[in-house]
Amino acid sequence: MRNYFILKNFCKKIYLVGSGNLWYEEEVIGDDKTIYYKLFAYSTFLTYGFMTLLEILAALIGNFPEDEKRDSITFAVSHTIVMIKMFSVISKKKLVKKLIRDLIKVCELYEEDSLMVDKYRIMKINVVAYIITVYGSAACFIFEGIRKTYDGSHFVTVVTYYPSFENDSLLAIITRITTTIVLLIMLLTMIINVDCFALANLIIFKYKFITLRDYFEKLRDDFDKLFESGNYGLAAEKLAQGLKEGIVMHKELIRISKEIDKAFGTVLALQVCQSSGSAVSLLLQIALSDDLTFVARMKLYFFVVALFFLLGLFLCNAGDITYQASLLSDSIFYCGWNLCPSQYPQRTRQNIGKLVLQACAQSQRPIVMKAFKMLELTYGTFLLVVRSTYSVFALFYAQDQ
């Protein structure tokens, strides 16, 4: 599936959940400037914000049992970060539109169908797996709430300042059920508007480098065919022209990498903090609580898995971008410029040599995605975050023993 249709479908879903029209073509998806759509969007995010505020109040001043107090802290921190992530994308609407347009057009003429099929398969697996982990965690929270109801307590998933723990009135029951529904919708908005949308852009950007590398390798194949047929002058001209076009595409990819950092840098950075910080809290809950039920443990396990799974998707795909970009120099160097015989025009040989030198020098500084413009988003960073998280958890656990 072509990038145009993939990103367009994402933007349609983002529009439907109330996050505005991020598509760069006018009047294709919908008008997010109408009064009805603005009312829908504002009411949706006000609902998310109000629920998050109640979660924060519950964590700070609420009087709840230990298990619900822990859940209130977990949700307050996580949902605050989710809200910041969502607003960080929505507030950069013009930048995101430009990024989508540029990302679709660069290298578009040289994208092979087989490579696009492979890219779509990888993207679909990543997205589906992430959705399963997120809603698996939410399902465990709901099941735990149902279990509490059968044990004589009340149903609860999202712990908010109102209703209080002792309040079992009809309004309190309706409020608890309503916050659960809002949670499920908020998770859908988070998945579509932020996490999977950012992930899709990273995967597409990674495959742009694979496409560019295939382009330089095909340039060598075309050169060899002309060389073997005796069209030396035409081979040199085609090679020089192809190198120029490849260098232009590479420069465009470097520029787009900066746009991705501006559009999704906050999302990636906050995910590093959220995955590490929240995971420590959740692991401590599992380790220090002796009365956790099976479902309660599973909801915490699913939460930890979802946090680290998303972080792994972000960092590993960002690391793949660096890796694919680092392979370009070999593909450029072996494009066939060294086979130019002496009968080639001297000026043509010099121009080709300078182009290769320029392209190799540019590609030997591979793109490295960063969070906070300091922390490199690579495979090594993912392992570092996992090890650091476990070290902090072990430290706190040892102090409580």
Question: What are the pLDDT digits (tens) for 135-177?
Answer: 999 999 999 999 989 888 889 999 999 999 999 999 999 999 9
- For residue 369, the model assigns a pLDDT of 83
**Residue 286 carries which side chain, given as an amino acid letter?**
I
**Residue 312 carries which side chain, given as an amino acid letter?**
G
- For residue 344, the model assigns a pLDDT of 53
- For residue 365, the model assigns a pLDDT of 77
pTM here is: 0.91
* Euclidean distance between CA atoms 51 and 63, whole angstroms: 17
The distance of Cα 234 from the centroid of its chain, to the nearest Å, equals 44
Residues of the chain with pLDDT under 70: 1, 337-351, 372, 395-397, 399-401
- For residue 343, the model assigns a pLDDT of 46
22-70 confidence digits (pLDDT tens): 999 988 898 999 999 999 999 999 999 999 999 999 999 999 998 889 8
Say if residues 60 and 230 touch (Cβ distance below 8 Å). no
What is the SS3 assignment for 293-357?
Answer: CHHHHHHHHHHHHHHHHHHHHHHHHHHHHHHHHHCHHHHHHCCCHHHCCCCCCHHHHHHHHHHHH
Say if residues 199 and 317 touch (Cβ distance below 8 Å). yes
Alpha carbon distances (Å) from 342 to 178, 219, 247, 338, 345: 79, 21, 25, 11, 8
Say if residues 295 and 143 touch (Cβ distance below 8 Å). yes
Instruction: Tell me the three state secondary structure of residue 375.
Output: strand
Count other Cβ atoms within 10 Å, centred on residue 7.
22
Instruction: Tell me the three state secondary structure of residue 172.
Output: helix
Task: Spell out a b/e string for 174-199, using b for 16 or more CB atoms within 10 Å of the CB, else e.
Answer: ebbeebbebbeebbbbbbbbbbbbbb
Write out the H or E segment, with its range, that includes residue 370: strand 370-371
* Euclidean distance between CA atoms 360 and 355, whole angstroms: 8
Domain boundaries, the chain: 3-400
- For residue 122, the model assigns a pLDDT of 92
Q: Taking the CA atoms of the chain, what radius of gyration do you get in angstroms?
A: 26
Alpha carbon distances (Å) from 355 to 12, 307, 374, 386: 42, 45, 32, 43
Q: Among 328, 195, 357, which residue's Cα sits nearest to residue 254? A: 328
Q: Is 365 left (phi over 0), alpha (psi -120 to 50) or beta?
A: beta
